[in-house]
Structure 1
Amino acid sequence: MLKGAPFSASALRNLPRDSRDTLFLLAVIAWVLLPQAAHLPLWCSALAAAVLAWRGWLAVQSRSLPGKWVLLALLALTIAATYATHKTLLGRDAGVTLLVVLLTLKTLELRARRDAFVVFFLGFFCMLSNFFYSQSLLTAFSMLLGLLGLLTAVVNAHMPVGKPPLAQAAKTAGWMALLGAPIMLVLFVLFPRMAPLWGVPSDAMTGRSGLSASMEVGTMASLALDESVAMRIRFQGEPPPQRALYFRGPVLSRFDGRQWQPQHTEFSPRHELQAGLQVTGDPIDYEVTLEPSRQPWLIVLEAAAQRPEVPGYRSVMLPDLQWLTNRPITDIVRYKARSFPAFTHGPLQPDPGLQAFVDLPPGFNPRTQALADEIRRDPRHAQASTSTLVQVALERLRTGGYTYTLEPGVFGRHTADEFWFDSKQGFCEHIASSFVILMRAMNIPARIVTGYQGGERNSVDGFWVVRQSDAHAWAEVWQAGAGWVRVDPTSAVAPGRTGAFQRLAAPRGVVAEALGNFSPTLSAQLRATWEAVNNSWSQWVLNYTQGKQLDLLKNIGFESPSWQDLSVVLFVLIVLTSLAGAAWTLWERSQHDPWLRLLIRARKHLARAGIDSTPAASPRHLALQVLARQGSQGQALHDWLMALERQRYGAASASQPHHQRALKQLRQQWRRLS
């Protein structure tokens, strides 16, 4: 190909074998690295793209590769840039950055088969590193394509001279993956899962969205724009009505004027004794599949009186009914829980500890303080109970022109004043915070509860899906004789927020918007199907824990299985499979002519080199074709084929001992040739 000629499909077909194979390998590497772009430093992604493009240009133009001093300089610069970016050369992020750099730079010294093997192995490592950031079904599918691409490149590198089609190498790679799938399935099911050797590093979920341990007015509105799944629920029996689905998270009691924070943050078994939870009525049993949040709390339907059993975690109930774990949840967990919709908790009579839920910082929200004094001075409320004062505040929300919105604007220093008297609009945390401040200004103990409200049932698999967009904040006020009572002031402003699936929808993408406008039913069905498939992936693959492995052993007869039993079962299966394979090989050899088997191997080998033959072609005919096609380079193969013919048809072939010795020598020679 002429240097500088325009690149086209025909030019690609006419490229030399090395150039064509290099371009294919570079395309596979780019596919493997593409999902990493969102997690790599910008300079690393740009460098990787530039190096791969440079290497592709060198291959197309048949130019020489850069010298070692250029590569050493690039390596030194990238190591320095990695350290400057991550302040270390160790850890996940720095390690992945260096791995990407090494892989791309190695393509610039891709001269021999040995260099190609190094690139293959680095490619496999980079492919696995994608799972540090995401274990979704989409990531798994894209990396499966990357695996097939790398295997195709490996097979192609082992194919003989000539220009064998990539489709042939891809077919072989596909068969390799298919034949290896049963082995991988057995290893997945039975290989002992022993932390920390198995699983994703604990920092793998950095940056995950979700509820926070504190709340500043305006922060939760961002979650309403996040349609990602927070958890999935499977109810046993009929689920509660949607308006009753309050999933409890962090409870916020301390207020500094701008930010709400929890009163209890530490994990302590003594907390559970202080909750004072009393439940009545029929319980609701359900199973939660909780997505990783890197936060140490379990989300349960109010109120869970029994400890949810989470494999690998210890949990305790705080005095405010929040369930806390002994460490952050960094992987998908599944647990069963039992909740009672009818419950009371907290002290039933006035208690000195309630003063902490009345305190307000001085110098904030003076107009709200004045509103509280005005309500208290009203003769109609002189002797009003707490429940009556709560209704007064809710009535103001219903009739005062207040609106529920995702874009309430920026709040200043006096957030409650601005909500009650100026903007009169806000998201759930604006409303809950302003309501609690008003309650405290009237000397009523009150606090904020954050969590999730509602959800939607997936019509495909029957799971209730709770999204980050279902994040919600509501209030609890203390009433004598009743303890802490839930009050959702948002429902007074927008009753549909806790009603039948009326939500403020986040803006959709162009494709989703077009599909929804074309057919809302089809759009909803496709989304439900995709989420059901993702849920199955989470339930059966990502959440396949050691506990499930041990349950499997129980089902096959083990009374008290352990990971040692798993190892024994796996070892026995490997031995039995190996013995079965050896027995099949011996049987197969006894059923076929060993001489004919050698000839078939030679025909397949020649076919890969571009020398086709018919089943009737003799070894002599094949030998002449080899000599005509490959010249002196094929002399050794020519001589071997002629020896194969003499072994069968020569005069000495009638002697059985000589026959066996000759076949053995031919097999040994073939191993060296192939």
Structure 2
Amino acid sequence: MLNRLTTLPRDTRDTLFLLVVIAWVMMPQVSHLPLWCTALAGGVLVWRGWLAVAGRHLPSLGWRLALLALTMGATLWTHRTLLGRDAGVTLIVVLLALKTLELRARRDAFVIFFLGFFTMLTNFFFSQSLLTAAAMLIALLGLLTALVNAHLVVGRPPLTTALKTASWMALLGAPIMAVLFVLFPRLAPLWGIPSDAMSGRSGLSATMQVGNIASLALDSSIAMRIKFEGQPPPQSVLYFRGPVLSRFDGREWLPPTPRPGVREMPANLNVLGPPLNYEVTLEPSNRPWLFVVDATAQAPRLPGFELRQTPQLQWLTSRPLTDIVRYSASSHPDFRYGPTRASGAALIALRDDVALPAGFNPRTIALAAELRRDPALATAPAPVLVQAVLQRLRSGGYRYTLDPGVSGQHSADEFWFDRREGFCEHIASAFVILMRALDVPARVVTGYQGGEVNSVDGFWTVRQSDAHAWAEVWEDGAGWVRVDPTGAVSPGRIGTFQRLQAPQGVIATALVTLSPDLLARLRESWEAVNNSWNQWVLNYTQSKQLNLLKNLGFESPSWEDLARLLMGILVLASLVGAAWTLWEQSQHDPWLRLLSRARRKLAAAGVAVPAQAPPRELARLAGQHFGSGPRALALQQWLLQLEQLRYAPVASKAASRQRLATLRREFNHLAWPDR
């Protein structure tokens, strides 16, 4: 098979190489494309490859028009439109595959190159991860190699020659791209498409049904990374506040809704102790939520967004977060907030936090009545009732589990009396329902708790599996107080930071069996690399550009300063390149340089070349070494033309320079003979 590939005609070989590159460009998008699109594009590429190998004619115009009509109809049927990101990417992928059925001439190849580069960029509509970038870098080199190969002279030059030229072009262009990346003004996120960029993302929800946070425990993807100033705090205080849920309809916990004509209660936040300073890199969630450690008296610093804080201490942004964002915050783990006395408007608001829907969880309500009949608890304040319920959790045989089963209509009854096991939201929901039945204002808070430090880069990593639900109870004189009933059932979940683990795959299990620490080290290393990519590439924002200008001495940098600096660097680089070229030409004879290159090439091929051999002597030695094949004759002819240029009369210096440039190009594209 390998021998057959090496003996294929050049057109067939080049076509197969281009088809492989196109397939590589399309491959990362398979999970985002309709099944018919992947099947049609793959089938067309295989068909075109078979036509090339078999030497068959390309399909007629009727076939191509029929496939185009099928593509348009299927796209319209799948996406209900031909516009937008998803429909547009579907069309461009199939059209790129269909264009290969018209690959007859060089101009057709150039159209395919253009479509290939554009399709390569569309991969970043779905993901800007390091893996995607690495795959597209390989695709870029492949397309550049095919493009260079299409410009090579007639013959069968090896693809490695085109690859070397393409790699050298990419390497020369890298400094320019780096300067453009650093200094080109960033007016808006390049890849963010708010309408549909976050489809399929998972994470915390704005509501909570018993069981939906448990599903996140199976997701080990990263929710956010934190860099603390100084020593990180204990894991037990790392509660990252998200949505606060105070309405319960019997099955689902919902956020509070303001009553018409009733003024919303202020937060009345009172922070204690020194602040905890840190920086958060938050992954996209398509939600307008910023997660901070309870609680922040000042708004997190996130340029480009308007922020507001709810009376429940949750920070909201002006728009959903569809890109990675980085913000800094100062939190106080020791704090008090909310009304301290149940009077006036506060009393009206607190009534909503003891409301329970009728007809749900009758045994839990009966349990509350039984507790109240205890003389020690009949008139006890909220802190005493909280401790009594927590003690019941500690001593009642309750268990913390990842798979508690599906809850029925009376979820709290099932937890307290039947199953006696649950995940954090089962425990928090049942706890809040019981506290409300005891006439104690209580509500559910969702967010993340804990995390782990990455030993490679020192960032604190919080995963989706760290999603958590806890409770807040209102106490007279103290306001809202955090109570985490999960800690009473499983202290390791909060204190020593023991997490329930989802079942691992075969490979992960094998790695853990082979070396218990190997998988953890590999994951930490990979996540550290990804974090560096996020910090220095994806999160390189306009504010960072302006901070760079400040460090360079600009007092009040702006976009105009960025543009002027960029143009100045490009002009300076152009002048330096032109000056170096002129100096090199004045110091060296270009004809001698070209002859020296020919000597080195012959010596590398095994020809014994005298140091001062002229072109005619080199041609004679090449003929002796390589024989009389067509490539050897082409090389000898080129050497004789080089000699003629030096010693034969020419019409003008301009004609001589033009002829030298032609010989230089021909030498670069010579198909080197085999011995």
**Would you say same fold, with TM above 0.5?**
yes
Shift of 1:265: 9.4
Asked whether 1:29 is paired with 2:22, we answer yes
Asked whether 1:47 is paired with 2:47, we answer no
Counterpart selection for 1:648 from 641, 646, 652: 646
Distance change in 2, residues 1:127/1:265 (3 Å): farther
Secondary structure at the counterpart of residue 215 of structure 2: helix
Asked whether 1:129 is paired with 2:127, we answer no
Report 1:347-386 matches (<5 A): 347-350=339-342, 351-386=347-382
Distance change in 2, residues 1:237/1:647 (3 Å): closer
Asked whether 1:303 is paired with 2:262, we answer no
Shift of 1:379: 2.1
Asked whether 1:326 is paired with 2:318, we answer yes
Distance change in 2, residues 1:110/1:20 (3 Å): same
Q: 1:5 corresponds to which residue?
A: none
Distance change in 2, residues 1:612/1:31 (3 Å): farther
> Mean Cα displacement is larger for which, 578-587 or 512-521?
512-521
Q: 1:3 corresponds to which residue?
A: none
The one-character-per-residue Cα deviations of 1:5-29 (angstroms, maximum 9, x if unpaired) are xxx1111111111111111111111
Shift of 1:546: 0.5
Question: Is residue 594–residue 664 contact of structure 2 (8 Å, CA) maintained in 1?
Answer: no
Question: Is residue 313–residue 325 contact of structure 1 (8 Å, CA) maintained in 2?
Answer: yes
Counterpart selection for 1:337 from 324, 329, 337: 329
What letter is aligned with 1:649?
Y
Question: Is residue 595–residue 663 contact of structure 1 (8 Å, CA) maintained in 2?
Answer: no
**d(CA) in 1 for partners of 2:211, 2:230:** 37
Asked whether 1:618 is paired with 2:611, we answer no
Q: 1:407 corresponds to which residue?
A: 403
- The alignment of Structure 1 onto Structure 2 pairs a total of residues equal to 653
Report 1:139-154 matches (<5 A): 139-154=132-147
Secondary structure at the counterpart of residue 379 of structure 1: coil
The one-character-per-residue Cα deviations of 1:553-608 (angstroms, maximum 9, x if unpaired) are 0000000001111000000001000000110110111122133356578999999x
**Structure 1 unaligned residues grouped into runs of 5+:** 1-7
Distance change in 2, residues 1:151/1:647 (3 Å): closer
Counterpart selection for 1:116 from 85, 109, 113: 109
**d(CA) in 1 for partners of 2:505, 2:143:** 33
What letter is aligned with 2:416?
W
**Structure 2 unaligned residues grouped into runs of 5+:** 670-675
**d(CA) in 2 for partners of 1:341, 1:92:** 43
Distance change in 2, residues 1:57/1:375 (3 Å): same
The one-character-per-residue Cα deviations of 1:318-359 (angstroms, maximum 9, x if unpaired) are 000001111011111111111111110000000221111111
Asked whether 1:58 is paired with 2:48, we answer no
What letter is aligned with 2:48?
R
Shift of 1:522: 2.2
Shift of 1:220: 0.7
Question: Is residue 452–residue 461 contact of structure 2 (8 Å, CA) maintained in 1?
Answer: yes
Counterpart selection for 2:394 from 392, 395, 398: 398
Secondary structure at the counterpart of residue 554 of structure 2: coil
Secondary structure at the counterpart of residue 274 of structure 1: coil
Asked whether 1:12 is paired with 2:9, we answer no
Report 1:252-651 matches (<5 A): 252-263=245-256, 274-350=266-342, 351-597=347-593, 616=613, 618=615, 645-650=643-648
Secondary structure at the counterpart of residue 429 of structure 1: helix
TM (norm. structure 1) is 0.91
Question: Is residue 277–residue 329 contact of structure 2 (8 Å, CA) maintained in 1?
Answer: yes
Distance change in 2, residues 1:265/1:332 (3 Å): farther
> Mean Cα displacement is larger for which, 594-603 or 241-250?
594-603
Question: Is residue 644–residue 666 contact of structure 1 (8 Å, CA) maintained in 2?
Answer: no
What letter is aligned with 2:418?
D
Question: Is residue 241–residue 291 contact of structure 2 (8 Å, CA) maintained in 1?
Answer: yes
Shift of 1:161: 2.1
Shift of 1:420: 1.3
Asked whether 1:236 is paired with 2:266, we answer no
**d(CA) in 2 for partners of 1:612, 1:582:** 36
**d(CA) in 2 for partners of 1:280, 1:435:** 28
Shift of 1:517: 1.3
Distance change in 2, residues 1:166/1:577 (3 Å): same
Q: 1:4 corresponds to which residue?
A: none
**d(CA) in 2 for partners of 1:543, 1:588:** 42
What letter is aligned with 2:353?
F
**d(CA) in 1 for partners of 2:460, 2:665:** 62
**d(CA) in 1 for partners of 2:647, 2:158:** 36
Q: Percent sequence identity over matched residues? A: 65
Shift of 1:314: 1.1
> Mean Cα displacement is larger for which, 49-58 or 178-187?
49-58
**d(CA) in 2 for partners of 1:290, 1:214:** 20
**d(CA) in 2 for partners of 1:209, 1:603:** 63
What letter is aligned with 1:325?
T
The one-character-per-residue Cα deviations of 1:421-454 (angstroms, maximum 9, x if unpaired) are 1111111111111111111111111110000000
Question: Is residue 599–residue 619 contact of structure 1 (8 Å, CA) maintained in 2?
Answer: no
